Structure 1
Amino acid sequence: MTEILNCPKGVARCASIVKEGGVIVFPTDTVYGMGCDPYKDSSVARIFAIKGRKDDKPLPVLAASIKDAEKMVKLNMVGKVLAKNFWPGALTIVAPLADPKVSEMVLAGKRSLAVRVPANKCALDLLHICKYLVGTSANPSGSTSPKNAREVTVEGFDALLINDGALIGKESTIIDITNAAPKILRHGAVSISQIEKVLGHPI
């Protein structure tokens, strides 16, 4: 049976579920996300199954801080500038992998990883205990991402962490910095003009 827990009281319980190999649904600053320990293959496999996600699509990881994120990926100068200006926030950065212990299922055959530090107190409280979480939207692949707990339609996870605070309701923007020229992979809550203003040049 799925546990229904409220922020902030339910954070510690959800963190223990993650550490035990479980899968949780929780609020981020953008949409409700589904998370697990990114180092545990069996937990990651459950997320693919719950979402009906193709196993060749890598999963993003949420981190508690820029410092923690830099243990997962190698941020170049562009990445550091973006992280400093947009984290915590709704920008996901794809960068070369730095931690070889991350589940191969998360990577889906790539040697890069999508990371983000969310601007949501409930999510950050959870991450300060877990440090890292797979952070994919809590919806079946191809359907609309849930803006609140009532819109979560996936089944089979272990706990739902509820926060009544308002979410952006729009997914994060994804930018790939693995090559010389940064590339937008998904348009989202952070606009291209905001990114270009920070970088000082068009992308």
Structure 2
Amino acid sequence: MKRERDYIQDIAEIRSMMERSSKFLSLSGWAGIMAGIYALAGAYIASVVYDFSPDRITYSVSLPAGLSEIILLALGVLILAIGTAVFLSYSKAHKRGEQVWNTTSRRMIIHMSVPLAAGGIFMIILLSKSLIGLLAPTSLVFYGLALYNAGNFTYPEIKYLGIIQIGLGLISCYFIEYSLMLWALGFGVVHIVYGIVMHFKYER
């Protein structure tokens, strides 16, 4: 009986080692929570402070006034979210005696970078055509595609998060007037819920 328990324990340890070698498991639930908070704060500032209206789709040569501030705000939210994710992932990996930058994490970044780069270029094209209302939906869709790809190299919940973001992006493409609210829902509320679930499921 004792030998059977030892076999089961050995198999569990081997399985855990194989999973750590093939999956990037240093993602922190707190990174998702903080990214969601940053996104909600950014959406609030864009809506209340800058009075940004996402349904301003125009084919005129000139872009809406205040758009440069909105772009800088979005970049600030992005930098904060990425910086927090990197810092918390490094801290989690350090506590577990693992390396953040390894073969698995490199593969994950590469597979995420393709849809993110394509989405970034597409958004620049939308800006050049003054199609402002499609920026928020586009960011949701391509970010969702990047997350779906990343799900092959980390926790499976990332795939579901990606699908939700894609769905919200497609919905906001149709309901342009609500795209900022849907953006806040996707990048804000959904990220916070995801982060809480991941924290209690994997980090406690």
| TM-score, scaled relative to structure 1 | 0.24
Indicate the structure (1 or 2) with the bigger Cα radius of gyration: 2
Structure having the higher helix fraction is: 2
| TM-score, scaled relative to structure 2 | 0.24
Structure having the higher strand fraction is: 1
